[in-house]
Amino acid sequence: MTAKAKPASSADSMADAIDPEKALVPTVQRVNEMRVRKGFWPKLRSTASRIPFAGQALAAWYATQDPQTPMAAKGVMLGALAYFVMPVDAIPDIFAGIGFTDDAAVIAAVLATLGAHVKRRHHEQAETALKRVRDEAN
């Protein structure tokens, strides 16, 4: 006689549905993290002198690197930074004057929502890095 598989209870199904190892959100966060890790600094170096929100983007990036920043906040910030890094978005960056307005809006919205997680030290790190990037460009 073969043993039949025990039918999954609704509690088992619920546990699987919220299991962070099986959830979609961590997967999306990992993809965004890889995009940002690969593309953030090259994009920032090439645009730092042209975009007024470079400091805010950098501060968000430093917040994502801080182990004290909550994982959920990091995930949202990484999504915004991935949007900045991606070459094709709502308003392509190649359009002079307006190409980065959507990127600026996304960064501004994230900082308005999660700004409490972007600490003074992140802004100070961003200011130092931005000065260095701009000096290298000149």
Say how many C-beta atoms besides its own lie within 10 A of residue 57's C-beta: 28
Q: How far apart are CA 34 and CA 121, in angstroms?
A: 24
pTM for the whole structure: 0.72
Residue 56: predicted pLDDT: 96
Residue whose pair of structure tokens reads 């994009």 in the numeric block: 43
DSSP 22: T
Task: Report pLDDT digits (tens) over 79-131.
Answer: 999 999 887 665 666 665 677 888 899 999 999 999 999 999 999 999 999 99
pLDDT of residue 8: 46
Contact (Cβ atoms closer than 8 angstroms) between residue 54 and residue 44:
yes
User: If you average pLDDT over every residue of the chain, what do you get?
Assistant: 80
**Rounded distance, CA 25 to CA 13, Å?**
18
pLDDT value of residue 64: 95
